[in-house]
Amino acid sequence: MSKIIKIRNLKKNIQQHSRTITILPSCSLSIHKGDMVAITGQSGAGKSTLLNIIGCLDQPSSGQYYLNQHDITDLSCTARSLLRKETFGYIFQQYWLINHLTVVENVELALLYRSGHCRSNREKARNALDQLGILSHAEHYPCQLSGGQQQRASIARAIITKPNILIADEPTGALDHDNSMQIMQILKEINRSHGTTVILVTHDREIAGMCNKRLPMETLFTKKEQLYAQA
Amino acid sequence: MHKLRTIIKGILSQRTRSMLSGIATLCATAIITCLIAFFYATTQQMADEMRTIQKNTKIVVHLHPSEQRQSQITYQDYLTSVRPAFKDRAIAASKKTYVHVYLDDKKRSGDYFEQIACDHDYLLAHNLSLSSGRFFHESEFPQSPFVVIGYDVAKKLSIDEQSSDPVSFFVAKQSHDVLGVINKQQDKFFYGQNNANRTIYTHLKTHHANLLALDEITVQISNPQESERVSDQVRLLLREKFPNVNYQITDMSQTAKQIQDYIAKIRFVLLAFGCISTLVASINITNSMYAIISERFQEIGIRLAIGATATQVKRLLLTETLLLALVSSALGMVLGELSNMILIKYLNWDYTWHIFAGPVSFIMMTVVCLLSCYAPLLRVDKINPIHAIQRV
């Protein structure tokens, strides 16, 4: 299988009161197309930062990031927006649905930005909600749903554009065990049936165990950084 | 329809902010509608005024003191019965003026002492006074001056107005024939008091030396630009020919210019008021827009994360603002037009209602709203989606 993501010595620093703080030490990794990868690690290890950079939501301070063999390290904001729209789907720990829109409108939103206003958008959104078993809540507002239902709506929004890569930041972090298992089953099903590459971040071993591949953060750091981390 | 519903939901998600922006836009549009209407009307009025002045530019020379002016005081409302003895002699109109009469010349006071002043031309012009006959010219009876007396005077002197017997009495040591008796007056006031019944009216005995035949000279000028030069020439002429006469020159074009300046000042104040209203509305909209972006920061982040470009997000916010601006400007326009109508109707304002003021202010305020959004919307370009979602 071809490498869909290749990262070399990627690093993220932030400036705080004239001090430079490293929030993601230099790390490297490769992810193949169709993989379902769990990035694990302790809190503060930089999992989410790495995932945000992979999902083009953030920009690295140094290093190289290749997506489908194209260097996208220094893309402009607009180019990253386009890439997000075309390639990625996002699932967040806190779901991040827009509160003043109904569930179906939230799901439809992803299509709206991809293909503009289209009569079929609403139908596609309803199908996606049906697929995730929350069609009956289509006209509800996010605040009227349970956590699990909101996360399903969030997944529906992420998969409706049929992205190549699904980015999930602690998708089960705010859910109970049963709901977590159900969400993971849905993600596995998406990965299996559509061949979507799923990259998720979790600190839950059980969740990580359900993925094809586990990438503990420590193993991603380059040698120098590993020594530093161990120390 | 669906898109419109989504936009309205976006507007309503910031109900208070949207309402404040809407009210600011509405008020500003209404004010500007009124101001534009007034501005246009006064412009038209001034243009008309100027056209009139261009056609009839003149200089008026007021000569004073004018003796004639003093004489133009009434007893025009009193009917006088001409005594039968004088009726056959009533043949010529008097040109003289009645002035002070004293029964007791030494004390210059008396039972029937009153100030009397009346211009006979004035009486004639108003078709007044004598029930029959006329006043006499003094020159007709140089040896026998006459008077007209009030009702109470006649009663006191026991003069029968219907009697044919000639009656005369001394006023200021001179015998005066009684020409007629003024009919009894009820609630008529003469110099603030009901003295008509107690008054003796007689001819002016002493002509004023400076009695002038006219008190106003009007000079018509064909070219309004020349008015100042003509004024100077008139001044020079009067100084040469009538050095003792006081006068005042009113240049109509100057007067018109003063009025114009005055109206221009009012217009400037109103213009400033309109600009301030627009500025306040604009600042309010800008402020609300900053607040809306700040409060919808997370939502903007989500939209950016799921694939919206900054331009798409800006377009959405701009569409929401535009819709709000259109609705509130339209309401403001209607309110402004109604205010115009009411002001013209109830305050009797002297200007015509121009309906175009509403649409002009509507367009103006919509443009102002859109421009006010420009700076806040630039912030969207700088938003990092993940920072926005996490509200960093």
Q: Mind listing the pLDDT tens digit for each residue in B77-98?
A: 345 555 665 554 443 323 333 3
* B43–chain A Cβ distance below 8 A for any pair: no
Choose the closest CB to A90 out of B10, B305, B381: B305
Domain boundaries, chain B: 7-53+256-389, 69-202
Domain ranges of chain A: 33-60+85-230
Is there a contact between A18 and A47 (Cβ–Cβ < 8 Å)?
Answer: no
Does residue B110 surpass a pLDDT of 60?
no
Q: Which residue of B has its CA nearest to A117?
A: B3
Confidence (pLDDT) at A141: 92
Is pLDDT larger for residue B169 or for residue B12?
B12
Pick B43 or B71 by higher pLDDT: B43
Cβ–Cβ below 8 Å for B307 and A81: yes
Higher model confidence: residue B107 or residue B359? B359
**B360-391 per-position pLDDT tens digit:** 888 888 888 888 888 888 888 888 888 888 76
Chain B residues touching residue A51 (CB < 8 angstroms): none
Between vectors from CA B67 to CA B63 and to CA B68, what angle results, nearest 5°?
A: 95
pLDDT recorded at residue A104: 92
Check A52 against B3: CB less than 8 A apart.
Answer: no
Give the distance from residue A79's alpha carbon to the nearest chain B alpha carbon, in angstroms.
Answer: 9
pLDDT digits (tens, 9 = 90+) for B229-257: 888 888 888 888 777 777 777 777 777 77
Does the structure show a pLDDT above 90 at B165? no
Task: Search chain A and give the residue with CA nearest B311.
Answer: A78
Asked whether residue B349 carries a pLDDT value surpassing 70, the answer given is no
B9 contact residues in A (CB cutoff 8 A): 100-101
Instruction: Express each pLDDT in A128-187 by its tens digit.
Output: 898 888 899 999 999 999 888 898 899 889 888 888 999 998 888 877 888 888 888 888
Candidate from B2, B308, B384 with C-beta closest to A113: B308
Mean pLDDT along residues B128-143: 42
Phi and psi at residue B77, to the nearest 5°: -85, -5
pLDDT of residue A198: 92
Task: Tell me the pLDDT tens digit for each residue of B302-324.
Answer: 998 888 888 888 888 888 888 88
Structure-token match 């029968």, residue found: B160
Nearest to B9 among A57, A82, A100 (CB): A100
Q: At what angle do helices B357-381 and B15-55 cross, to 10 degrees?
A: 140
Take residue A58 and report the two structure tokens written for it. 């953030």
- Nearest chain A alpha carbon to B304: A81
φ/ψ (deg, to 5) at B109: -155, 170
Interface residue of A12, A49, A91, A98 to substitute, partner B, most B CBs within 10 Å: A98
Cβ-nearest to B385 among A57, A78, A158: A57
As a whole number, mean pLDDT of residues B277-294 equals 86
What residues in B contact A98, CB-CB < 8 Å? 299, 302-303
Q: Write down the mean pLDDT value for chain B.
A: 70
Interface of chain A toward chain B, CB-CB under 8 angstroms = 52, 57-58, 77-78, 81-82, 84-86, 88, 90, 92, 96-101, 105, 109-110, 113-114, 117, 122, 157-158, 161
Which has the higher per-residue pLDDT, B206 or B35? Answer: B35
For residue A1, what pLDDT is reported?
62
Q: Among B6, B13, B386, whose Cβ lies nearest the Cβ of A58?
A: B386
Instruction: State the CATH architecture for A33-60+85-230.
Output: 3-Layer(aba) Sandwich (3.40)
A–B: how many Cβ contacts below 8 A? 66
Nearest to B98 by CA among B150, B158, B156: B150
Does the bond joining A171 to the residue before it have cis omega, within 30 degrees of 0?
Answer: no
Residue B244 phi/psi, 5-degree rounding, is -95, -5
Check residue B131 and give its pLDDT. Answer: 33
Contact B386 A57 (CB under 8 A): yes
Closest Cβ opposite residue A109 in set B306, B309, B389:
B306
Nearest-Cα distance to chain B for A2, in Å, is 25
Residue A38: the pLDDT is: 92
Taking an 8 Å cut-off on Cβ atoms, the answer to whether A81 and B304 are in contact is: yes
> Residue B193: is its pLDDT beyond 80?
no
Residue of A nearest to B8 (CA): A100
In sequence order, the 6+-apart residues with CB closer than 8 A to the CB of A10 are: A24, A26, A27, A28, A50, A53, A60, A62, A63, A64, A65
Strand residues in chain A grouped as ranges (E): 3-16, 19-32, 36-40, 62-67, 70-71, 88-91, 165-169, 197-202, 213-216
Three-state secondary structure call for residue B17: helix
Do the Cβ atoms of A82 and B309 come closer than 8 Å? yes
Number of residues assigned to chain A? 231
What is the reported pLDDT for B6?
76
Contact assessment for residue B82 and residue B131, using Cβ atoms and an 8 Å cutoff: yes
Burial class for B328, CB neighbours closer than 10 Å (0-12, 13-18, 19+) = buried
Across B60-64, B175-179, B264-268, the highest mean pLDDT is recorded for: B264-268
Look at B305 and A81 and tell me if their CB atoms are within 8 Å: no
Q: Which residues of chain A have pLDDT under 50?
A: 231
Confidence of residue B18 (pLDDT cuts 50, 70, 90): confident
- pLDDT band (50, 70, 90) for residue B103: very low
Residue A42, classed as helix, strand or coil, is coil
Q: Which residue is closest to B10 within chain A, CA to CA?
A: A100
Residues of A in contact with B10 (CB under 8 A): 100
